[in-house]
A and B are shown apart, each in its own frame.
Chain A
Amino acid sequence: MDDRELRRRLHLAQQRRLSGLSPDPYLARRVLSRAREGQRFKKRLTVGVILAVMLMASAALAIAWLSGKAFVKEVIAPASIRQESDRFTQEEADEIIRIARENGIELTQPMLDGLSSMYKETWMLQFMKLDYGFYPAAWPLEEQAWLDALLVSCGLREQRTRFLPAEGEISEETAIETAAACIREAWGAGVLDGTTRYVQYMLTEDASGALCKRWDVEFEDAAGNVFLAQITPEGRVEQIINRPAEPPVESVEVTQTVSETLSLLYDDSFFTVENLARLREEQRALLPELAQAQDEDMLALRQLLTTPYALSAEDEISPREAMERATQAAGEQGFSAQALSLCKSSISYRQYEGEPAVYRVCFKLKPENRQPFYEGRLPFGIVLYISPADGSLTQAVVLEELDGFERWCEFPDPHDTLSHPGVG
């Protein structure tokens, strides 16, 4: 057996036997979130063996912990190094909460909600907030650095990200004075009156992407306008920013509905004529909430809700017949049945104003089947427009290149308001 044959068999083995390894539809968002917020990346699931829960012996209960910080140090940190995962087990979590209550620490519902993620890092943060307030950036610098060092020593953070100034670096007072002076000079003497101050001495990336320490001094007024100065350890002002207040966020209820609706869009089987028509009918009320959307998924949802999806009439061909006709037409365009089996598909019925109704059927290669495309043996996909009146093909568009909407077959379309590099 030559190398080529061995490679072919290995490819097949991998594609078939490991077909159950499912990609995470939210991965890009998770990565961006971590990259932008500088947060430690959460493992999705716990790792490996769960060691026996041997939390604080009852003897320890005799001690009355007076502060959240002491509780973090004496209970949560020791408990967190008993097993390798980023999260506590349910047994560990129950035990920690029991100890907290028995020691007079009041756990409010919002706090318990915050603990539901089970991430050890979150637990430490929540208990520290009892002493120092909700926003870590408003804590004393010493406490920010203390928690950061603890997270590193417990293996929950890879490197230090919050610091106290070292010898030769400017002090916190100097950083604040420097920041305030340059902000006042840029935007007026009174701009910082009545503002709340947040100071962090943190690890960040410079313009070239290299890691470096920076003072991050923020002032926020009552309306939510933010003045920010970033200062080097030597005291040089690197940049100052005035970030206007953000528009009001959507209500929790709306956010939840949007989130639930978005989750539907990650299931390829959702894209049927009936589902799309129902989505538009039932969720149009969300449109005003999506007016300011910037997020890719939200924009996609807005596009779906503004597309004139409908159901076909009784005297028109059915979606099934339209799909059969589209499959046949795709074959005529060079997409064999075998090629189509490598694709995901969607079908919708659209009724644009002033135009005849049309079925739109799109086939795009699934991510795991794109090798033939990369090798130039197959186009990326094909869009077919079928007349509901007589089943005739009205237009066929072969997708020669990746179109920026690989995740969904519903985009792009000539009527779409969505735009993307590479989409004409």
Chain B
Amino acid sequence: MESDPRAQRLVDMVDRYQAQLLRLCYLILRDTMLAEDAVQETFLKAYRAMGRFRGDCQEKTWLMRIAINTCRDMRRSAWLRHTDRSVTPEMLPPASVPFEQEDEDLLMTVMALPIKLREAVLLYYFEDMRVKEVAAALGVTPSTVTNRLQRAAKALRTALERGNDRG
């Protein structure tokens, strides 16, 4: 076992949140390898900052905030600025369990959202954060979050209705 309590806590956090963070980072960065790098970077930053985590929010919220900022840094890199990162369904990683067409349509719609709306959707709908927490994580006001969520939800509902019409 890890005798260092910080290291043990990191092991626990990785066990508990790695899969969630990987999906979050993938939906922001739209690239499996970049998402893996972002998750690794997130946990490293968390490990280094553990002593400064004062428990003013949930551990999960804290990690999500670090992940979002890490993804933003990666998106700002010269590499991503000059690369077309649009995704087609064929580019999604192969699923390991059966899925519905609606699942794919919804995710494609999420990934096509402008980044600001996408971040809000990921934290609010996928990570179950409250509007206030999303606002804190994104560094904007709660009303801005509400506004972004309303715009995003409209697009998502339209995608679902389109799917229903087809089905």
A→B interface (CB under 8 Å): 1, 3, 6-7, 9-14, 16-24, 27-28, 30-32, 34-35, 41, 43-49, 84, 205, 208-209, 294, 296, 299, 367-368, 370, 402, 404, 406-407, 418-421
Contact = CB atoms under 8 A, between A and B. Distances in A.
B91 interface: no
Interface in B49-68: 49, 51-52
A3 to B, nearest CB: 7
Contact of A367 (B11, B18, B40, B51): B18
Nearest to A36: B7
B165 interface: no
B106 to A, nearest CB: 4
A97 to B, nearest CB: 26
Given A7-B128, A406-B16, A17 B40 contact: no
B22 A21 contact: yes
A420 B1 contact: yes
A367 B16 CA distance: 6
Interface of B: 1-3, 7-8, 10-12, 14-16, 18-20, 22-23, 26-27, 32-37, 39-41, 43-44, 47-49, 51-52, 79, 83, 92-100, 102-104, 106-107, 110, 121, 125-126, 128, 153, 156-157, 160
B64 to A, nearest CB: 14
A23 B1 contact: no
What 7 A-B pairs have minimum CB-CB distances, sorted nearest first? A13-B103, A16-B99, A20-B93, A17-B103, A28-B14, A13-B106, A368-B19
Nearest to B11: A28
Contacts of A27: 14, 18, 39-40, 43
Given A30-B40, A32-B7, A21 B26 contact: yes
12 contacts: A6-B156, A7-B128, A14-B103, A17-B103, A18-B27, A19-B96, A20-B96, A24-B40, A28-B14, A31-B14, A32-B7, A44-B37
B153 to A, nearest CB: 6
A248 B88 CA distance: 53
